[in-house]
Structures are given as structure tokens and as C-alpha cells.
Amino acid sequence: MEIKSVGVIGAGQMGNGIAHVCALAGYDVIMTDISQEALDRAVTQIDRNLARQVSRGLVSEEDKTAAQSRIRTTQTLADLGPTDLVIEAATERETIKDSIFKDLLPHLKPETILTSNTSSISITRLASRTDRPEKFMGFHFMNPVPVMQLVELIRGIATDQETYDACLAVVEKLGKTAASAEDFPAFIVNRILMPMINEAVYVLYEGVGNVKSIDGSMKLGANHPMGPLELADFIGLDTCLAIMNVLHDGLADTKYRPCPLLTKYVEAGWLGRKTGRGFYDYRGETPVPTR
């Protein structure tokens, strides 16, 4: 099927980025969230990011205006019913995702493709609780969406070839590159990335190095553009912990045990950039290590 309209569930960091790139690629986009404030923030962020792309010569002023005109927002989930493709980008909690799909299903067209931007949760399991497991798959964007070139496409056990081909065509129209991943915990990127971040937290926890030395070592010694603790703050420590728990529970291997210090930071509400404190304190002019 040809996809012309996209529904995006969730107006957070990932949701607004997905709406941005889809609108810029020519799709009609409707974005929903339970919070009007979140929707307003998302539109402001999209406008700001589009303006940045114009200033860098990546997007024309005409394309920017056209993309803005293609985005609608709503607090009513049922308004996404007529869309051809739905991309769920809500909180990384399976019960919330299940609840959203349950509420949305009665309003969808029979041919609508359902996808989740989950970074770790079983696609097969999410799909099995819907009325269209063959038209359900993982559509995992990287953060920040307008900048990162990769999209992981994850088939559940029931996903049919037509659904995969339609989603692959969307990725190509967005100007991004697809990586096909099998439906195992955390897929490809986070299966490799999150244990590295978790190990960096262990190195901090055990006193092998402090925040500054760990991040500096990986930037200068491994040529990483961002240190692992800085990256964890950018992703969100709650998200990192959630993915490590999925890996630990799903693969039953002790090498995926979340570091107790990561758990402690999450319990303290120090989740990284989004809360102003994580492995760095962002409340001043420049970030300061918290350990």
C-alpha cells in the first residue's frame, strides 16, 4: 500500500522528531499526546529545528513552510484513525503502549499499519495484543531524529512482507537508511550500546574513574563523539535502566544486570538533561560532573 498520512503518538523528544521528518518528506502528519502543553512544546521545537536546518542550507524556506502546514495536533487519539501508518512513540513502558493500542484499534482502517518506536520491547508481544499482528512492526528511530540517519525495522513473528516493504519505502522517502533487525531484546543498536553505557556506570560505581575521566577516555581513546555517561544523560537514565532491565529479563544473562548506581540515580529522579541532573548537573552555565 502507498502511505500518504502518518499518525504519531507522543509529542516528546522522539515524537516531535518523527513528526518533523515525516512532514518534511511530504507526509500529512497528525500528532497526538495527552498533554496540550506537550503538543505546543513539540510544535515550537519542530519550528526551531526547521529554522536551524534552513540557516544551515539543508532545507529551503519553502520546504520549511510546507512541512509546518502538514502537521496537525490533537489530544484525541481517535483522530489518528484515518491515517495510513501509525508510529507510536510514547513512554517506554509496555503497559502504556498496550493501553494506547487497545484504545486506538476500534478507530483504525483495516489496512492501517501499526508500528512502535520502542527501543527494546518485544514487537511480537505488542503485536499479539492487536487485531493486526501481520500489519505490526518495530519502527525504531535514533535520537535526535532529524539528524540521525538510521532507522531499525523490526519484524514480529507475524509481520508480513507487504508491511515490511511499505515501511522500508517510508524510511527511504525520509532519506534515511534502514537496518533490518530480528525481534530479540533491544534489537541491534541498544543491544550493543546499552551494555557499554551500563559498564561505564560500573566503572564509576567501582571507583575506577570519575565522570570526567571516563567520558574523556572514551572520547579521546576510542574517538567517540560523546562520552558514555554524557550520552546516558542525553538519552535519559530512566530509559537506559528500562532497556537494561528488558535485556536482563529477556536474555536471563547476568552480564546485563543494571548497575546499582544507575538504579540509584533513577530513584533520585536524576534522569539526565531532561531533569537538569544526571551524571552531570546542567543547572549552571556549563555541565558539572556529579561524581
Q: How far apart are CA 46 and CA 30, in angstroms?
A: 13
- Residue 152 annotated as catalytic: yes
Catalytic hit among 117, 122, 140, 230: 140
Annotated binding site: 10-15, 33, 92, 97, 119, 143, 274
Catalytic hit among 122, 190, 198, 230: 190
**128: CB partners within 8 A, 6+ apart:** 156, 158
Q: How far apart are CA 152 and CA 155, in angstroms?
A: 10
Annotated binding site for NAD(+): 10-15, 33, 92, 97, 119, 143, 274
- Residue 61 annotated as catalytic: no
In contact, 96 and 126? CB cutoff 8 Å: no
Catalytic hit among 120, 152, 198, 230: 152
Cα 100 to Cα 8, 97, 128: the distances in Å are 12, 5, 14
- Residue 55 annotated as catalytic: no
In contact, 112 and 134? CB cutoff 8 Å: no
Q: How many CB atoms lie within 10 A of CB 181?
A: 18
- Residue 117 annotated as catalytic: no
Catalytic hit among 49, 116, 117, 119: 119
Cell readout for 213 is 575521566
Q: Starting at the earlier edge strand, list the strands of the sheet with 85-88.
A: 71-74, 28-32, 5-9, 85-88, 113-116, 136-141, 150-155, 177-181
Rounded to a whole number of angstroms, the CA Rg of the chain reads 19
Active site residues per annotation: 119, 140, 152, 190
